[in-house]
Amino acid sequence: MQPSEDLLEMIASFSGNLVALTGAGISADSGIPTFRGKDGLWNRYLPEELATPQAFARDPELVWEWYAWRMRKIFKAEPNPAHIALALMERKGLIKAVITQNVDNLHERAGSRNVIHLHGRIDEMRCTECGKVVEVTEPPESIPPHCRCGGLMRPNVVWFGEALPQKELNLATELCSSNNVVVIGTSALVQPAASMPFYAKRNGYHVIEVNPNTTPLTGIADLSIREKAGKAFEEVCTILKEEEIR
Ligand code: APR
């Protein structure tokens, strides 16, 4: 059987008791760079200089220049078949939620409604003084941007050394402890997201991994699709779209 038929067959066998855990790899096929691996962002930039509260305090302009560059890339990108397949699966009751480490909004733009962002969102800015959060559809005109209250705005993302949003973390932990998990495009190196598929296994659920490379999760995966996400879900998309038409 083709891996994508295996994939859809196993997904359907879970009868909706399934969540997705996604990482930068699912957006790679939309042209958005991942963090590690061959052309990873961390090969060219030091995360300590761009993705920590200390870096922002030291040079908010430099940090905002980098996020504005990432925003331009992300806002120009389009969802790929993997994002679209997850949205179709949600519509058909095959999946309960998408838990993502990504700060892009490609899951939402593909049509997924129940998306849990563990590391925040690049299409939001937060005031460091009053805490006000504003949605953005393009990089700020003036860098660094300021709030009406005069406070400095920051990207509403989780930086290294910062706590994840508690509500999202609790929900994601609960979902991964009581459902099967399809893990797509993560190196499974950054905690606490990397531990979540182990919660599923520990409680007797299954783990599917979709990744062209092996990861620390590969050893516990019940099905490992060694494929790029866009390609692995292309066939799934076609089948689910045909079913929609029938
Ligand atoms: N399809 C599926 N997976 C892919 C593809 C693809 N086309 N291309 C690359 N990958 C895989 C890589 O093999 C790797 O395992 O995606 C993974 C990307 O890993 P990372 O770059 O480490 O991204 P991620 O796992 O999401 O990082 C987690 O680290 O820097 C922090 O906050 C950042 O949320 C991020 C977190």
Q: Is 83 a catalytic residue?
A: no
Catalytic residue among 107, 117, 119, 206: 119
Q: Which atom of ligand 1 is nearest to the CA of 101?
A: 34
Task: Answer yes or no: is the C-beta of 29 below 6 A from any ligand 1 atom.
Answer: yes
Measure 142 CA to ligand 1 centroid, in angstroms. Answer: 31
The H-or-E segment that residue 42 falls in is helix 41-44
Q: Count CA within 13 A, CB hemisphere, residue 71.
A: 21
Measure 25 CA to ligand 1 centroid, in angstroms. Answer: 4
Q: Phi and psi for 175 in degrees, rounded to 5?
A: -65, -40
Task: Answer yes or no: is the C-beta of 33 below 6 A from any ligand 1 atom.
Answer: no
Measure 78 CA to ligand 1 centroid, in angstroms. Answer: 18
List the pLDDT tens digit at each of the 246 positions of the chain: 567 778 999 999 999 999 999 999 999 999 999 999 888 999 999 998 899 999 999 999 999 999 999 999 999 999 999 999 999 999 999 999 999 999 999 999 999 999 999 999 999 999 999 999 999 999 999 999 999 999 999 999 999 999 999 999 999 999 999 999 999 999 999 999 999 999 999 999 999 999 999 999 999 999 999 999 999 999 999 999 888 766
Single-letter code of the amino acid located at 230: G
Task: Answer yes or no: is the C-beta of 37 below 6 A from any ligand 1 atom.
Answer: yes
- pTM for the complete prediction? 0.97
**Buried/exposed code over 202-213 (b: 16+ C-beta within 10 A; e: otherwise):** eeebbbbbbbee
Short-list 33, 113, 100, 112, CA closest to 66: 33
Question: Structure tokens of 236?
Answer: 């799934």
224 vs 210: CA distance, rounded Å? 6
Task: Answer yes or no: is the C-beta of 70 below 6 A from any ligand 1 atom.
Answer: no
Measure 14 CA to ligand 1 centroid, in angstroms. Answer: 25
Residue nearest to atom 34 of ligand 1 (CA): 101
Single-letter code of the amino acid located at 173: T
